[in-house]
Amino acid sequence: MRFVDEFRDAGMARVLSTKIAELCEPGRHYKFMEVCGGHTHTIYKHGLEDYLPETVSLVHGPGCPVCVIPMGRVDDAIAIAERDDVILTTFGDMLRVPGGRGSFFDSKAAGSDIRMVYSPLDALKIARKNPDKRVVFMAIGFETTAPSTAMTVLRAAAEHLDNFSVFCNHVTIIPAIKAILDSPDLRLDGFIGPGHVSTVIGCRPYEWIARDAGKPLVCAGFEPLDILQSVYQLLRQLAEARCEVENQYARVVPWDGNTKALQVINEVMELRPHFEWRGLGFISHSALRINEKYARFDAERIFALPGVRVADPKACQCGEVLKGVLKPWECKVFGTACTPETPIGTCMVSSEGACAAYYNFGRFSRDRVKEATRT
Amino acid sequence: MCLGIPGEVIELMADPSGQESDLAMVSVEGVKRAVNIGLLREDGQLDLEPGDWILIHVGFALSKIDEKEAKASLEFLMGLGDAYTDELEALAASDIT
């Protein structure tokens, strides 16, 4: 077993497509939100909407970590990078993200030492090799990525690598889901739960969504059959008048998550009182920062940051896309002024952003979708 | 960046002094890379050996993939797809010349 190909079988996808159609009540429309940007990517890459009846729509959620970073934080990171003694490292997805004064690429072209890394451990290696420089890792990501950053800080502490620090932008998924549920603009029938975040936090933190908010949630894997099976399981819950948290991705997600990963997050980080999300505004207790014990590795304490809040460009509707209120192509600048090469908003940058995914893989005609969403 | 990829553990690596380390050599689609397995260590114990599959994210193993659960998931799908497998079997049994 290779855990990939088995979950991409086209024949089985057609079977699931038929079973999904059988479960739909005639005349009823269903809206499910896939919280995670990785799911959005799979849905567009494999054209999964073609396997669903027109009465089932998938709404893209806020789970793209690059997309939710507000412009002010990009400007803060660039301000750090502009210092002569600094090497700023971050994931490749971040490099094109526009801030108020341009992107990381622009700053790099102007002379800043900004480097793309695959892992925070690569940033640590750069710090070891450059003892005369201060190496800052701009950390982004949900609970999936936070433990890797925390492990790297612990390693830096063990090695006394005091020229290494983290500009921490880790966010947490539950407050974002709560903000979506509190939003009056959107009526949802259930959630496709974020599989890789759940690898760390487990399935229990979602129980309130089924119990108190009355929405079923199926924690899902990232292959095409995983997503179609999750839609099937959501529809079956609705058909049987059940409202539960189910784990479709049990091969990877333990119900209680990864205890060690949660421990290292708690050792190194603490919740911020509030954090600004692009499109969702300020959300309480929705992000992590480096705690007092590891303060010497916290770039926010080491460097003076502008910390200025920058409003999104007027033309950009990323906020509405992130809340699932607008489909990517309904944004006024989608594919015209805003493209992956010259993005105006973050959703067009990351491969997990709904706009980039639709721009790169969008395969069925916009007219057909408009038709389907009008009914 | 948030995508996780499955890889097969080839070898648990020792550190330069020969002690157990937090690294494993892992094969992903035939490419071998060192991956940090520290997040799979609970109370110092590591339940991992060559041949096991792990989910890798930004250089760290986040989870050991449970083959029994993967099989259960596929069996569930096969159960749904009885009509499809019947058709496949019928096709396999046919002898059109």
Q: Measured between CB atoms, which of B59, B66, B84 is closest to A15?
A: B84
Mean pLDDT, range A274-293, rounded to an integer: 94
pLDDT tens-place string over residues A94-139: 998 889 989 999 999 999 999 999 999 999 999 999 999 999 999 9
Separation of alpha carbons A333 and A335, rounded Å? 6
Return the percentage of chain A with pLDDT > 70, whole number. Answer: 96
Instruction: State yes or no: pLDDT of A366 exceeds 60.
Output: no
Q: Please state the pTM of the whole predicted model.
A: 0.90
| Residue closest to A104 by CA, chosen among A82, A126, A123, A133 | A82
Nearest CA in chain A to B43: A260
CA atoms within 13 A on the CB side of A112: 25
* Sign of the dihedral defined by the CA atoms of residues B19, B22, B28, B31, in that order: negative
- For residues A213-227, give the mean pLDDT: 96
Query: What is the spatial distance between Cα B41 and Cα A20, in angstroms, rounded to a whole number?
Result: 40
Reported confidence tier of residue B84, pLDDT bands at 50, 70, 90: low
Q: What is each CA distance from A170 to A73, A139, A372, in whole angstroms?
A: 12, 6, 37
Least Cα separation, residue B97 to chain A (angstroms): 25
Residue recorded with tokens 């759940």: A198
- Asked which of A153-167, A318-332, A359-373 is least confident by mean pLDDT, the reply is A359-373
| B2, B53, B81: residue with CB nearest A15 | B81
Contacts of B63 in chain A (CB under 8 A): 199, 252-254, 258
Sign of the alpha-carbon torsion through A29, A25, A41, A119: positive
Are A118 and B59 an interchain contact pair (Cβ–Cβ within 8 Å)? yes
Q: Which runs of consecutive H residues, i.e. helices, occur in chain B?
A: 67-80, 82-93
A111 close to A85: Cβ distance less than 8 angstroms: no
A243: closest CA among A209, A203, A194, A205? Answer: A209
Taking only the tens place, the pLDDT of each residue in A129-150 is: 999 999 999 999 999 999 999 9
**How high is the pLDDT of residue B85?**
66
Would strands A86-90 and A114-116 be described as parallel, antiparallel, or unpaired?
parallel
Number of H helices, E strands in chain A: 15, 13
pLDDT average, residue stretch A17-35 = 95
A264 touches chain B (CB under 8 A): yes
- The residue of B1, B85, B89 whose CB has the most chain A CBs within 10 angstroms, and thus the best one to mutate to test that interface, is B1
Q: Report how far residue A66's alpha carbon sits from residue A362's, in angstroms, rounded to the nearest whole number.
A: 20
- Boundaries of every domain in chain B: 5-93
- Residue A373, pLDDT > 70, answer no
Helix extents (H) in A159-279: 173-182, 195-201, 207-211, 224-239, 259-268
| pLDDT cut 90: percent of chain A above it | 69
Radius of gyration of chain B (CA): 19
Amino acid at position A374, single letter: R
CA A254 remoteness from chain centre: 20
Residues of chain A positioned with their CB less than 8 A from the CB of B88: 11
In the predicted model, is pLDDT for residue B1 greater than 70? no
The amino acid that residue A171 corresponds to is: V
Could you tell me which of A152, A211, A200 has the C-alpha nearest to residue A172?
Answer: A200
- Burial (CB < 10 A; 0-12, 13-18, 19+), residue B81, is buried
pLDDT value of residue A137: 98
Is the pLDDT at B82 greater than 80, yes or no?
A: no
Nearest Cα neighbor of A298 from A336, A270, A276, A324 is A270
Whether residue A252 and residue B73 make contact (CB cut-off 8 A), yes or no, is no
Q: For residues B92 and B76, what is the distance between their CA atoms, to the nearest angstrom? A: 22
- State yes or no: pLDDT of A68 exceeds 60: yes
ipTM of the complex: 0.89
A259 Cβ under 8 Å from any chain B Cβ: yes
Highest mean pLDDT among A204-213, A352-361, A363-372: A204-213
Q: Indicate if the pLDDT at residue B88 is higher than 70.
A: no
> Which of the residue ranges A119-128, A307-316, A338-347 has the most confident prediction, judged by mean pLDDT?
A119-128
Q: Does domain B5-93 fall into CATH 3.40.50.300?
A: no
Residue of chain A whose alpha carbon sits nearest to that of B40: A260
Return contacts of A234-237, CB within 8 angstroms, 24+ apart. A234/A30, A234/A32, A234/A189, A234/A190, A234/A192, A235/A20, A235/A23, A235/A24, A235/A30, A235/A56, A236/A23, A237/A190
Mean pLDDT along residues A345-371: 74
Q: Do the Cβ atoms of B63 and B54 come closer than 8 Å?
A: yes
- Identify which of A10, A64, A2 has the alpha carbon closest to the alpha carbon of residue A224: A10
Cβ of residue A120 closer than 8 Å to a chain B Cβ: yes
Classify each residue of A172-205 as buried b or exposed e, where b means 16 or more C-beta atoms within 10 Å of its C-beta.
bbbbbbbbbbeeeeeebbbbbbbbbbbbbbbbeb
